[in-house]
Structure 1
């Protein structure tokens, strides 16, 4: 046998061992370990075992120590080993086909999974776009709903108001009232202006009469040394009338009640002047007064109707009977 010859040959024994199988890297070793863990190697081991038994039965002759068997039996043993090896090999092929089919099915499942994943991603994107569109539509719907609610509130308020025709009629009536008020206001203003102009003319005439009365008083007091109480009372009445007229002119619009009050004051002042003028000439003369002349008494009596006319607001032509110029005879005396 070659085994015995190799043991007797010293050159073969002394030859250094050669490393024919290359060393594996860490990744390759990890892959092999993972493959052994995940794959079942028992069918492969059985095939290898049957293959070794078949090879040993076919290649190894019978040993010399044993008697030679029948060649037919040797062939049967070799055929049995061959059949066992073929059976194991066929079972291994079936197992491999099954594994291939399983791998193909898993590959198809992976492809289906990828397709489903792609579809899901597409649906996800489309749903996101749809959600955004729905959000915008919801915002628009909320705005429309809010506007509708506001419109309903405004519509309720509008329905509570009267109709357009009624409002137009009310507006027309108000415009007519305003026009009437404006016209009445214009007439009132014209009347007020007329009253003001009349009062201004009266005040001016009274002022001129007052100045004329003062001039006459100074001219009458210069020649006569006697006092005239009746003239003083008349002058006081004239000044009262002037002040009353000025106060009336300063007021914006005279009323009938104010006019009645002024007339009552005038009527109340008239009896006093009458009492003064109608007093008895034989009465006692007060202290500090002088005796009046008969001419001055006659002038006082004549002054009474003139003072009443001046209080009534009549015009004065400049002639006065209250103070007459002194006679030439008196100047000679």
Structure 2
């Protein structure tokens, strides 16, 4: 009996000890892959964390931009990397959107990655030209039901969060609008300001300046709560789409199989960086809010959103260009 208790206690102690990798980690530079161009949200977040995490870990951290194929090239690179804590991924919610938009995707957003934690949220706002008569979500719904496929909305391209957010609104309301895709935000915004298109989801830091200047009208905030920049604008949920939000989330990932103790350490150290006043100041200038989460919570968000956006893509018949 005593031997059995001794063996059980020893096994429990061994399970609680860090892995061999954790004892030595990090003893070489760490790479953060950003699967988008410099200046994008995942890039800004990665470089902010890089500057403040490197001294804490005592090793250089290199941010590598591997852009292309809507983020799929860099993401695949991390999915195939050695799971040793030396290759990380800074991603955004397009990670799960792409799973439905692209056939034969060379990675699985759930099966091929170990979530580390959330890093930020980015809110979108549904806006219209000030002269647009349907000026509330209820009025938009009524007008679209009376005359389907007349009202238009723009986006930076097919399959972008801006596009899928409006497609979710269409699906939930069972209405038909006309999607006008552009090659980037600039052209779409210009036509929205000029009244050539009727509606669009825009990032809060872009939308707020034009709303305050009277050049655009804010219809609904795409977040779970009202936004500090536009406190009088109701959320989608408050406007009748109960439980609906289109916040873009950002997070860090490692290749599947990375030891759990390394994931937990990265989660704690990155979280400490994100909880500083400096993080809020830098992120808010880019329309982002720094947030943290457990690895498990991010994993649940990834699984849930993969199914949510797959449903929208399927029902709207959306195909990536």
TM-score (norm 1): 0.20
Q: In proportion to residue count, which structure has more helix?
A: 1
> Which structure has the larger Rg?
1
TM-score (norm 2): 0.21
